[in-house]
Amino acid sequence: MFALRFSVVRLVLILVLAGTLLAPQISQAQEQPMADKIRVSVVAGAMQDTMSRLVEKYQQANPGVTVTLELEPEGGAFQALIAAGNQPDLIITSFGPMLGTLAEQKAAVVLDDLPGAAELFERLLPAALQKLYGHYYYVPVGIDITLMIYNKALFEEAGLDPNDPPTTWDEFLAAIAAIDALPPRENGDEVYGTVFWNEALQWGGWYWNMLQPIYLNANQGRCQLLNNLATDIIFDREECELDKFFEFVKAAQQYAPPTMEKNFFGRNIGTWLQYGYSWEPNLQSAAGQPMVIGEDVGVAPVPVPNEGDTSFTTLGGRAMMILKTTPEREARAWHFLQFLMEDENNYQFITELGYLPALLSLQDDPYFQQPARQPFVQLLEHGYVPEQFATAERAASALQGVYYQVVVEGSIPLEDAVAAAAKAAREAIQS
């Protein structure tokens, strides 16, 4: 009898142990109490509409939880809200130095060790991830990249092969010179070989995202602007080839209007080296009728200095960051962020808003295999996220100020460009 009772006890213990091992594991996120209300900052317009639909879906799956959307403050600066203790729990904002500023100020939550973080980061395009001060602070929710588009009709009119775009700097300069020589249009508009967004040089360091592919091509991805600690610039080093960057853009500017008042979509400009995937809606409002990629618009990598060089691009887009509040609110914000990065939900976000996938699993989706989208997807592996440290904004803005003087005004000689840019950037960083 004793032996039987002992065996029964042993059997019960074994079954309990087995049940413990086989039962679904409760994640730390589920163990961590989560708030039933959070606030999420979004950009007004289409993003607000898309996020409203995703919030409704999340709330249906999580009864009793309220997610409130609010608009991003002007300029994307959250410091005033943080100082007042009124910051949102989750922000969906642009890639850029604001992310680094919030990380430096310790206003953002470190994501590295959150439950499920390692698994999420493994699902993401490695090039879209950038550690700030040694940690991950953001998750890329949608990506934009920069490449070259060109007007096939103007290529043909100038005697160029519309199906064979220039791949090197010399080929590019020859092509835009030929297009620039075309006569004015019937409405009197001049024809230009290319265009740069020169008025944006004064609008902050974000514009460096659009210039950087040319700089990366010049140095073949060896340099960005800052050292690894973001304490000093490196672009004045010989291997960074900033002098070649200045030489090329100055040569190209002579075939471009002074500003982008007359832009590519007016059909009188041959090429644009700064076209991003998120600009696709602008094709619909082109002069006369919509422009179609693959038909009257060609897409190609940004030209490189020499044949055989790699063409690089800049990864822009939108990133999600959790701001520090309370443990319960931070846990709920992380739960909602993970929901937004589920394949189905992220697909809705990026296709409705015109972004490329940061999730590796979505890059092979039929939607992104379409011929008009493939050139963008193929360039993702050669993308760089511009430096997002707090000092990067000041360094880029200073560099752009010198760019205007060298390339647009011509008030600084080309041979003095690198030294002038380095001096201005170091003064900006130290101020």
User: Which tokens go with 337?
Assistant: 């962020």
Do 99 and 218 lie in one domain? The reply is: no
State how far the alpha carbon of 245 is from the alpha carbons of 210, 213, 218, 288, 311, in Å: 13, 10, 6, 35, 14
* 2 alpha carbon, distance to own chain's centre: 71
- What confidence category does residue 16 fall into, taking pLDDT thresholds of 50, 70 and 90? very low
- What confidence category does residue 183 fall into, taking pLDDT thresholds of 50, 70 and 90? very high
Which pLDDT value is given to residue 303? 98
Do 136 and 157 lie in one domain? The reply is: no
pLDDT tens for 49-60 read 999 999 999 999
Q: Which H or E element spans position 126? A: none
Does 332 score more than 50 pLDDT? yes
- What confidence category does residue 428 fall into, taking pLDDT thresholds of 50, 70 and 90? very high
pLDDT tens for 140-152 read 999 999 999 999 9
Which pLDDT value is given to residue 204? 84
Does 168 score more than 80 pLDDT? yes
Three-class secondary structure assignment of 383-419: EECCCCCHHHHHHHHHHHHHHHHHHHHCCCCHHHHHH
Count of the separate structural domains present in the chain = 2
pLDDT tens for 273-330 read 999 988 888 999 999 999 999 999 999 999 999 999 999 999 999 999 999 999 999 9
In a domain, 54, yes or no: yes
What percent of the chain is modeled with pLDDT above 90? 80
Which pLDDT value is given to residue 64? 97
40 with 89: CB under 8 angstroms? yes
Tally of residues, the chain: 431
Which pLDDT value is given to residue 31? 64
In a domain, 6, yes or no: no
Q: Considering only 16-20, 85-89, 148-152, 248-252, which range has the smallest mean pLDDT? A: 16-20
Does 5 score more than 50 pLDDT? no
In a domain, 11, yes or no: no
Do 338 and 278 lie in one domain? The reply is: no
- What confidence category does residue 390 fall into, taking pLDDT thresholds of 50, 70 and 90? confident
Does 162 score more than 70 pLDDT? yes
d(C-alpha 358, C-alpha 407), whole Å: 35
Do 265 and 378 lie in one domain? The reply is: no
**Distance between first and last Cα of the chain:** 86
Do 112 and 236 lie in one domain? The reply is: no
d(C-alpha 431, C-alpha 420), whole Å: 17
- What confidence category does residue 262 fall into, taking pLDDT thresholds of 50, 70 and 90? confident
From 383, 400, 416, give the residue that closes a domain. Answer: 383
- Mean of pLDDT over the chain: 91
Output Rg (C-alpha) for the chain, integer angstroms. Answer: 25
In a domain, 2, yes or no: no
In a domain, 114, yes or no: yes
CATH of the domain at 335: 3.40.190.10
d(C-alpha 49, C-alpha 66), whole Å: 17
Q: Considering only 1-10, 377-386, 415-424, which range has the smallest mean pLDDT? A: 1-10
User: Which tokens go with 413?
Assistant: 């000689």
Which pLDDT value is given to residue 228? 85
> Is the pTM here over 0.95, yes or no?
no
Q: Considering only 15-24, 27-36, 67-76, 233-242, which range has the smallest mean pLDDT? A: 15-24
In a domain, 348, yes or no: yes
Do 155 and 274 lie in one domain? The reply is: yes
Do 140 and 150 lie in one domain? The reply is: no
Which pLDDT value is given to residue 28? 42
In a domain, 180, yes or no: yes
Do 41 and 152 lie in one domain? The reply is: no
In a domain, 326, yes or no: yes
Do 37 and 132 lie in one domain? The reply is: yes
Do 341 and 302 lie in one domain? The reply is: no
* 38 alpha carbon, distance to own chain's centre: 26
Do 300 and 339 lie in one domain? The reply is: no
pLDDT tens for 95-122 read 888 899 899 999 999 999 999 999 999 9
Do 280 and 325 lie in one domain? The reply is: no
Q: Which domain holds residue 299?
A: 146-314+386-430
